[in-house]
Amino acid sequence: SAVISQKPSRDICQRGTSLTIQCQVDSQVTMMFWYRQQPGQSLTLIATANQGSEATYESGFVIDKFPISRPNLTFSTLTVSNMSPEDSSIYLCSASGSGQPQHFGDGTRLSIL
């Protein structure tokens, strides 16, 4: 299965600032996704990162708040914009090959002061 690396692994940020999280896969994959994991809550899909086109966002998530890029088949970024304490969470990248289940990175632990 693909190895997925995320950077940074954790960060503490000031409210009102933005942070870009990087996700690198060690092989070409068909699909890449971004999830959010909040304490006591289910892992929730933010968006599907589409290579060469705009991401597909789930209900409740918008591009202005969570812009996503996917310039090629192995790399994607998620930006958390204009952060508030409610954005404190773990952000996870996942990837899958064609017809294969998703595998996850270790996540980015984000705290907003």
Partner 1 sequence: QKEVEQDPGPLSVPEGAIVSLNCTYSNSAFQYFMWYRQYSRKGPELLMYTYSSGNKEDGRFTAQVDKSSKYISLFIRDSQPSDSATYLCAMSASPQSGSEKLVFGKGTKLTVNP
Element (DSSP H or E) covering residue 5? strand 4-7
Among the candidate windows 11-19, 41-49, 69-77, 80-88, which touches partner 1 by CB under 8 A? 41-49
| Region from 11-19, 37-45, 59-67, 72-80 binding partner 1, contact rule CB under 8 A | 37-45
Give the count of residues interacting with partner 1 (CB under 8 A).
28
Residue entry with tokens 């970024």: 77
Smallest gap from Cβ 107 to partner 1, in A, equals 5
Distance CA(33)–CA(35), nearest Å, equals 7
Residue pair 50/69 in contact by the 8 Å Cβ criterion: no
Please name which of 20, 9, 1, 2 lies closest in space to residue 90, comparing C-alpha atoms: 9
Region near partner 1 per CB under 8 A, out of 11-19, 42-50, 60-68, 77-85: 42-50
By the rule CB under 8 A, 48 interacts with partner 1: yes
User: Which two three-digit tokens encode residue 106?
Assistant: 């270790």
Q: How far is the CB of 82 from partner 1 (least distance, A)?
A: 26
CA 59, 12, 50, 92 dihedral sign is: negative
Give the footprint of partner 1 on this chain (CB under 8 A).
1, 4, 30-31, 33, 40-45, 48, 58, 92, 94, 96-107, 109
